[in-house]
Amino acid sequence: MKFAVVVFPGSNCDRDMYHAAKEVLKEEAELVWYENSSLENYDGILLPGGFSYGDYLRSGAVASTSDVMRQIRTAAGKGKPVLGVCNGFQILLEAGLLPGAMLRNKNLAFMCHQEPLIVQNNQTLFTTNYEHTEVIHFPIAHGEGSYFCDEATLAGLQANNQIVFTYQNNPNGSIADIAGIVNKEGNVLGMMPHPERAVEKMLGSDDGLKLFQSIVENWRDVYVINT
């Protein structure tokens, strides 16, 4: 499987994402500068964390208008897996690929620590290697990570089983404890915690490895069936 790690000005977790895909998973991966917008030859798209464009206007707002987003929409429309982590999640929200918005943390401070999550949906292409309601540990590192949506959107997320991860302790005040959501089609996942920083035990947790393994295994199943 070949991953594109899309790099914007201000991205600072792209090397972590690349390491997870290339060095730990042993899959193909390339750092793709956002102006090199051809993503046609990649099987999966990874949007890393950081502070794209310095988080001017709103986190992810400027990056969401870049030309590469057209390519990402096309890839998502073809059913390719798209994973946005932290600032990558914010970009997906601003681009309308996922519903809702991100607010400042409830304590109005930047937070950076390990956090327990609950796997609410283990039937997505990102989560089949987890057990339902399994408690896993990923680090968080954000100042604007409080997920918000209106009541109708929340009802839709719940009805369609789009809430993939929830916080056990809800450190940032996210509505319904939401830590990660998927689109209705199930191939675009946005989450604030960092699975790419939890792929080796030396990092304090290797719970994130199952997420990347799920992507690869499910992609291979689809690829074999379709070819």
- Local confidence pLDDT in tens for the 227 residues of the chain: 999 999 999 999 999 999 999 999 999 999 999 987 689 999 999 999 998 887 777 778 888 888 899 999 999 999 999 999 999 999 999 999 999 999 999 999 999 999 999 999 999 999 999 999 999 999 999 999 999 999 999 999 999 999 999 999 999 999 999 999 999 999 999 999 999 999 999 999 999 999 999 999 999 887 655 54
Domains and CATH numbers, the chain: 2-226 (3.40.50.880)
Predicted TM-score (pTM) above 0.85: yes
141 token code pair? 């590192």
- Residues with a catalytic annotation lie at 86, 194, 196
Question: 194: closest CA among 116, 111, 138, 126?
Answer: 138
- What is the CB neighbour count within 10 angstroms for residue 140? 23
Query: Residue 109, class by beta-carbon neighbours within 10 Å (0-12 exposed, 13-18 middle, 19+ buried)?
Result: exposed
Alpha carbon separation from 7 to 57, 66, 87, 224 (Å, rounded): 19, 12, 11, 30
Residue 56 near residue 148, CB atoms below 8 Å: no
- What is the CB neighbour count within 10 angstroms for residue 97? 19
